C-alpha cells in the first residue's frame, strides 16, 4: 500500500493562535490534547489534519505550498468575506467579472491560501452538454 497524507505542517510564530484561526476557518477543532503555549498544535479537520509547529524565524518569502479552499455551503465571495472577518487579509484578487477565478488570502501570520468557487457556482456556469 502507498502512503497517505496525515498532516499538512505549517511553521508559525504562535502555534495555538494560528491553529485557532484555521479551526474556525475550516469549521473544525483544535485537538483536545493541545493548549495555549504548546509549540505543536493540531487542527483535526476532515480528510487531513493541519499541524502547526512554532519556529523562531518569521515567514519571509512566498509559500512553496498552499491550501486551496472550496466552500461547501456558501459562495466563494461569501467565504472570502467570512475568512476576512476571522482575521485573514486579501492578498491577491483573481476573481473575474464572469464569476470565474479565485481569491488569494493570507492568514494572520501571512501564509497564503486560495478560495475557489463552490461546486454549485461551478455547476451554474458549466457549459450545457
Number of domains in the chain: 2
Shared domain check, 51 and 6: yes
Q: Using CA of residue 117, residue 68, residue 26, residue 5, what is the dihedral sign?
A: positive
Residues 63 and 51 in one domain: no
Expressed as residue numbers, the domain containing 78 is: 59-129
SS3 at position 101: strand
Question: What pLDDT was estimated at residue 126?
Answer: 77
Has residue 117 got a pLDDT over 70? Answer: yes
* DSSP structural state of residue 32: T
- In this structure, the answer to whether residues 117 and 66 fall within a common structural domain is yes
Rounded CA separation 28/22 (Å): 8
Render pLDDT for 15-61 as a digit per residue (tens, 0 to 9): 999 999 999 999 999 999 999 999 999 999 888 999 999 999 988 89
Cα 118 from Cα 101, distance rounded (Å): 11
Predicted confidence at residue 46, as pLDDT, reads 86
Residues 71, 46, single domain; the answer is no
Amino acid at each position: 500500500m502507498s502512503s497517505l497524507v496525515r498532516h499538512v505542517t505549517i511553521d508559525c510564530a504562535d502555534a495555538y493562535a494560528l491553529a485557532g484561526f484555521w479551526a474556525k476557518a475550516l469549521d473544525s477543532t483544535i485537538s483536545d490534547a493541545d493548549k495555549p503555549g504548546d509549540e505543536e498544535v493540531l487542527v483535526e479537520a476532515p480528510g487531513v489534519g493541519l499541524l502547526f509547529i512554532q519556529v523562531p524565524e518569521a515567514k519571509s518569502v512566498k509559500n512553496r505550498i498552499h491550501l486551496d479552499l472550496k466552500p461547501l455551503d456558501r459562495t466563494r465571495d461569501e467565504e472570502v468575506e467570512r475568512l476576512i472577518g476571522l482575521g485573514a487579509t486579501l492578498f491577491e484578487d483573481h476573481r473575474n467579472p464572469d464569476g470565474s477565478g479565485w481569491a488569494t488570502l493570507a492568514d494572520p501570520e501571512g501564509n497564503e491560501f486560495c478560495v475557489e468557487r463552490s461546486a454549485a457556482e461551478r455547476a451554474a456556469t458549466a457549459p450545457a452538454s
